Structure 1
Amino acid sequence: MSSYRVREAYDKLASDYEHNVDTKNAFNIFYERPAMLNILPSNMKNLKVLDAGCAAGWYTDKLLKLGAEVTATDISSEMVAATKRRVGNKASVLNLDLEKELPFQNDYFDLIISSLVVHYIQDWNRLFSEFQRVLKPGGILQFSTHHPFMDIKLSKDKEYFCTELIIDQWERQGKLIDVPFYRRPLNEILNKILQYFSIENIIEPQPTIEFKSLDLGRYERLMKNPHFLIIKAKR
Structure 2
Amino acid sequence: MPSVSESSERSADEAVVNDYNTFGEAYTAETETSLINAYYTRPAILDLAGDVAGRQVLDAGCGAGPLFAQLRDRGATVTGFDASTKMVELARQRLGEDAALQVADIAEPLPFAAGAFDDVVVSLVLHYLEDWTAPLAELHRVLKPGGRLILAVNHPIIYKMVHPEGSYFAIEKWSEEYTFSGQKAVLTYWHRPLHAMTDAFTAAGFRTAVVSEPYPAPGARERFPETFGDKQAFLCFLFFVLEAE
TM-score over 0.5 (shorter chain): yes
Match of 1:22 among 21, 32, 44: 32
For the 8 Å contact 1:163–1:184, the answer to whether it is kept is yes
Secondary structure in structure 1 of the residue aligned to 2:81? strand
- Match of residue 112, structure 1, among 120, 131, 136: 120
Structure 1 residue 215: Cα displacement: 2.8
**Native 8 Å contact 2:26 2:183 kept in 1:** no
The answer to whether residue 225 in structure 2 is matched with residue 216 in structure 1 is yes
Whole-Å separation in 1 of the counterparts to 2:193 and 2:230: 21
Counterpart-to-counterpart distance in 2, 1:221 and 1:228: 20
Consecutive unaligned residues in structure 1, runs of 5 or more: none
CA change 1:229–1:220 in 2 (3 A) is farther
Instruction: Say which SS state the counterpart of residue 205 (structure 1) adopts.
Output: coil
Tell me the residue number matched to 2:4.
none
Larger helix fraction of residues:
1
Instruction: Please list every run of 5 or more consecutive structure 2 residues that lacks an aligned counterpart in the other structure.
Output: 1-15
Residue 109 of structure 1 aligns with an amino acid whose one-letter code is F
Equivalent residue for 1:179, pick from 173, 187, 206: 187
Contact 2:17/2:185 (CA < 8 Å) preserved in 1? no
Q: How far does the alpha carbon of each residue in 1:192-233 deviate from its partner, in whole angstroms, 9 at most, with x for none?
A: 112220011110112234222333343358746411110001
Task: Tell me which of 152, 163, 167 is aligned to 2:160.
Answer: 152
Given candidates 164, 178, 189, the residue that maps to 2:172 is 164
- Kept after mapping to 1: 8 A contact 2:130/2:171: no
Cα shift at 1:21: 1.9
TM-aligned CA deviation for residue 168 of structure 1: 0.8
Q: Which has the higher contact order (CA 8 A, sep 6+)?
A: 2
Between the aligned partners of 2:198 and 2:230, the Cα distance in structure 1 is 25
| Cα distance change, pair 227–101 in 1 and its aligned pair in 2 (3 A) | same
Partners of 1:110 and 1:136 within 8 A in 2: yes
2:82 corresponds to: 74
SS at structure 2 position matched to 1:232: strand
**2:138 and 2:231 mapped to 1: Cα distance?**
33
Q: Quote the Cα distance in structure 1 between the aligned partners of 2:121 and 2:223.
A: 27
Instruction: State the distance in 1 between where 2:231 and 2:83 align.
Output: 29
TM-score w.r.t. length of structure 2: 0.86
Contact 2:40 2:216 in 1 (8 A): yes
Aligned to 1:228: 237
After superposition, what is the alpha-carbon deviation per residue over 1:113-167, rounded to whole angstroms, capped at 9, x for unaligned? 0111110122200011001111111111000111011122233732111111111
Q: With the length of structure 1 as denominator, give the TM-score of the two structures.
A: 0.90
CA contact (8 A) 2:115 2:141 kept: yes
- 1:127 correspondence with 2:152: no
Residues 214-223 or 110-119, more deviating: 214-223
Please say if 1:39 is aligned against 2:57: no
**DSSP-derived class of the 1:34 partner:** helix
Identical residues among aligned pairs (%)? 29
